[in-house]
Amino acid sequence: MGELKSLPLMSGSVELEQVEPVLYRSIIHCSGVLGDGKIRQRAREEVDDFTDSENLADFVGVRLAYKAFSSLPQHQRRLTLVGLNMSAERLFFIGHCFRSCSQVNNLAPQYAPYRSRCIVPLMNMPEFSNAFGCTAGEPMNPREKCRFWA
């Protein structure tokens, strides 16, 4: 259910203009059902298109950042901080959520809470589950994940 394959369409093409809204709605639906929806249910948040587009940006942003991280040479991906017994990969994911640590949820109402902006993209990344050894079916490693590209 949660996998959407990349589409080989040219930017500006008629096909892309017709597919973009459908793809966008599919991505938003998937993230709402398989991730953010669980958190929203607990928080009883109101959601609108702006919130959904911000959530999508969080999903895409962490994926792109991880892709850049994983493209580093192996010797750079092995660097760690002195005194921390933690891999660079784990530190990458912690860094993604670090901004949330000191924030009280005082964002404007159209934004999702910091907690969900941290957790939801990561719970849909197999790389996160692998880095932290999350068992399949645990909250941070749901069996169904949203995937927007292969």
Of 64-73, 78-87, 140-149, where does mean pLDDT reach its minimum? 140-149
The partner residues of 147 in beta bridges, in order of sequence, read 3
Domain range summary for the chain, segments of one domain joined by +: 17-132
Contacts of 80 (CB under 8 A, 6+ apart): 86, 87, 88, 91
Residue 149 pLDDT more than 60? Answer: no
> What's the N-to-C CA distance of the chain in angstroms?
14
Mean pLDDT over the full length of the chain: 71
97-103: average pLDDT? 72
Higher pLDDT pick, 63 / 111: 63
Of 5-9, 28-32, 51-55, 69-73, where does mean pLDDT reach its minimum? 5-9
- pLDDT of amino acid 5: 45
